[in-house]
Chain A
Amino acid sequence: MSSALRAALFLPVLIPMVAASALFMFIFLPNVGLLDYYIGRLLPVLPNWLGDPDIALYAIMIITIWKNAGYYMLFFLAGLQAVPEDVMEAAHLDGAGPYQRLRHIILPELKPTFLFVIVIAILNAVTQVDHVFVMTRGGPSNSTNLVLFYIYQQAVEHYDVGKASAATLLTLAALMGLTALSFRTMANREGGP
């Protein structure tokens, strides 16, 4: 049963981002899309998921979550399995409640996992652009524009290679910093106390 659940959550990781975006285009379609068709009935005003500058970014976030959650789940799965059993057993014997076990044992044990996943998630968010490309092309009113898409726009749509290169370098510097951080967290995870 739990493996079936895992498979369900992991399935989106297996399909390419472009395919997922195309799928979610239909889900977010105004009025006739999956979301409006069902959830829209409960709301008095139908939101224009990808067309409203206030909402579009959240719509983009939804697909990113749907797509990546299964991937991060794997790390947490490993992290949870690495929680020492004797400590948990001791907690049970001492009569620690669910909240106490979570707060004082599981979460501290998962700290490296959290750090790692946060870094990976940030890297993913910065380096994934397919969904923006397919779904909104940065619009409306640039509300879903991301660094990477901006670079693409400058380079390919406006032929401004200088600006695109400058933006790439800045992004790269930020990513380098992030990677250094991620290496440190990974080192902590592998060999640290």
Chain B
Amino acid sequence: MTRAIAGRRLLRVGLAEAWGRDRVVLFAIQIVLVLGFLGCLRAAGGSVDGWGLGFAAVGAAAMARVPETPVPLLGWGALLVWWALTVTTRFTWWALPAALVLLVAHTAFALAALGPRDGQLTRALVVRTIRRLLVVAGLVGLVALGCASLYAAQPPGYPVVVGAALLVVAGWLWLVGTDQDVPA
């Protein structure tokens, strides 16, 4: 076997570690998604000024630089709090694209945390991840539809029903998460 090893283009800023094309693309996607989330927030009636946008962009770059740390969790937690505090309506359809943005961003962070900065993702992995994203997006769409229906109908005791359903889900999560340990 004597095939030549192909060269790849890498991006290096100053003395920093070189970044591969895939990682640069993921970095850009993560920043665009944060700005996209803020766009949804603004469209939903939330307040986003120039300073907020600037801080968010810088924060997004910081998050995207260290995807394997708790920084993305803190960043996206802050964005959720921002939404909860500034969006005044109880239900808006803009929550659906914002949720999808959050889903894609979470996946992008997880992919970026997989390997070194100049690592290459395979086409098979990307295709499979997109397929799974579509499945989850479909589920989220269904939940949004249910929420919108409940919000529109305003049935008596509706908060109690939702709360009870969530408690059941939480209990089930606790069960599946703690049932047995993996052998060492």
Do A and B interact? Answer: no
| Residue ranges of B at the interface with A (Cβ–Cβ < 8 Å) | none
Q: Which residues of A contact B (CB under 8 A)?
A: none
